Structure 1
């Protein structure tokens, strides 16, 4: 399936948001996700089904001073 992650196209085999995050290497538990502009809380990722052409945004925390 073809999706866009943070404005970069990807072809993935995963069917759910949780599986896609694992396939794409997002191991950090402290991330925020939005699918097609809608925030998806962590408990809903395993049941959120992806579709061809979906747009996924993944935000990770940044450290700085």
Structure 2
């Protein structure tokens, strides 16, 4: 299932993520549930939702962490 949506220019963004987040993503099984504590802007959860069809939830307490 591909959840990628075009951005304002109509282009589907590239699904590359930071190396450290990719290491975490590699450990997640498709279709599982994920709770990301300290998720920041949700980059990892967004990637996992698109690439592995996870049911993801994130919690970020820092206003600076949420962009």
- Give the TM-score normalised by structure 1: 0.23
Greater fraction of residues in strand: 1
Which structure carries more relative contact order (alpha carbon 8 Å, separation 6+)? 1
